[in-house]
Amino acid sequence: MRKQIAAANWKMNLTVDKAETLLDNIISANINLSNDQLAVFAVPFPYLHLAQNIIGDNDNFYIAAQNCYSKKSGAYTGETSVEMLQSLNIKYVVVGHSERREYFEESNAFLAEKLSIALEYNITPIFCCGEPLSIRDAQTQNEFVAKQLEESLFIFSADDVQKIVIAYEPIWAIGTGKTATSEQAQEMHAYLRKVLTGKYGKDVAGNISILYGGSVKASNAKEIFSQPDVDGGLVGGASLIADEFITIIKSLK
């Protein structure tokens, strides 16, 4: 059975005191997750150790890094290696977020390198894909996201690709005033699974969790997560509010 995942992406937000309070409030809610449900918190790099200590041994709660570099070590000032993440017992890392692609011009080939090294160190990548408004307006979103998968994921074996979590981000519906419906989310998730099926077969594609990253909130999480090919969400702003994210976690299938 595919994992159902509520992943928080804090981005570049919160002071250390606010970060500690937020995690404390969520953990103190005593949320009971089943074996196929996970809560993952992608926190800023300075808070990784703190966050790891706060979640402690709470079952199915994990800390993620928001990024990593494609090399094991070396003279790369300001970068963070997966070896460093592994030494902190970090189990997840976000790779290829739309903001990394847009602001730092990370290519599909470069992201494939990051995925490879994360898997080498047994860290689960949350691989982001999705189309901007211009692509959606041109109705070429299917070809666009298929290319992202093909150029970043198709180098991996069937065994390895099942170790990757995919997060679909409808960039056109984030901060534009446009809204993606749960049906549109399901349509794209089903298409992504179809692309994976074409490469790896139905059984492999059916084992890969695909999260939705389009302005998930407490008010819409249950409806979005109820879609058959949506396996949870990668949540931005709403993950910074304890009550909101607690409700989102409880909305998992």
Active centre residues (catalytic): 97, 169
Residues 33/39, Cβ–Cβ less than 8 Å? yes
How many angstroms separate the CA atoms of 212 and 185, rounded? 7
Q: Which helix (H) or strand (E) holds 99?
A: helix 98-104
Beta strands in 103-207 (DSSP E): 124-129, 165-168
Q: Which residues contact 158 (CB under 8 A, 6 or more apart)?
A: 200, 201, 204
Which tokens sit at 25? 């409030």
How many angstroms separate the CA atoms of 224 and 210, rounded? 12
161: three-class secondary structure by DSSP: helix
How many angstroms separate the CA atoms of 12 and 66, rounded? 10
Tokens 């000032």 locate to 77
